[in-house]
Chain A
Amino acid sequence: AQTVTQSQPEMSVQEAETVTLSCTYDTSESDYYLFWYKQPPSRQMILVIRQEAYKQQNATENRFSVNFQKAAKSFSLKISDSQLGDAAMYFCAYRSAITGNQFYFGTGTSLTVIP
């Protein structure tokens, strides 16, 4: 089974600053999808950004961008101009484009935004 590792259980950032959350994964597949999900205190999972493995260009969604390093199996999330509403748990996730339906989630990073 694929594994997704988030080595930072907790991170903090000053409001308006930039923070990077790390994620690595292990797979033998060449075609897959990677995701960052946000889970605020309401516990509702929200998709932040998605990256297709076949795309070399890093995905960007407004203040959120990723650094996708396929060879290194690394997928970090950069949050620019951090806002108080960005405070949440962030989960990195992997899904094969070939086999099965399952999403594999990392253990999560709790992000605190300091006003």
Chain B
Amino acid sequence: GAVVSQHPSWVICKSGTSVKIECRSLDFQATTMFWYRQFPKQSLMLMATSNEGSKATYEQGVEKDKFLINHASLTLSTLTVTSAHPEDSSFYICSARGLLVYEQYFGPGTRLTVT
């Protein structure tokens, strides 16, 4: 099946700094990728939908200036958490839409800890 990777798997950063998380579709082209946030023992919360070559669509309540999403190619989307604060500490998961409308392939997630 299709594989989606995320890098890094775990990152620790200091408050006020920025951190970038990469999401790659390894063996297929993904025109659409999704970014989710998951708090412990909670469900996935969709943050934004990114389409290759265009601006991301953010869900209500998600600060677009804080969570910068770039989908510059058909295999790579990045999420940059700017001026990170401890409350941004969470598990971030990306997924990529497959060729068929019901296909969604998830990355393994990135654990962000802001100290």
Chain A interfacial positions (CB closer than 8 Å to B)? 33, 35, 42-46, 50, 52, 89, 91, 95, 97, 101-103, 105-108, 110
Q: How far is the CB of B90 from chain A (nearest CB, A)?
A: 12
Number of contacts between A and B (CB, 8 Å)? Answer: 46
Residues of B within 8 A of A106 (CB): 43
A–B pairs, 10, beta carbons within 8 Å: A33-B101, A33-B102, A43-B108, A43-B109, A44-B106, A45-B93, A45-B106, A97-B101, A103-B34, A108-B42
Residues of B within 8 A of A110 (CB): 41
Indicate whether A44 sits within 8 Å of B109 (C-beta atoms), given known contacts A101-B34, A106-B43: yes
CB-based contact B91/A43 at 8 Å:
yes
Q: How far is the CA of A101 from the CA of B31 in the complex (A)?
A: 11
Across the two chains, which residue of chain A brings its CB closest to B36?
A105
Residues of A within 8 A of B42 (CB): 107-108
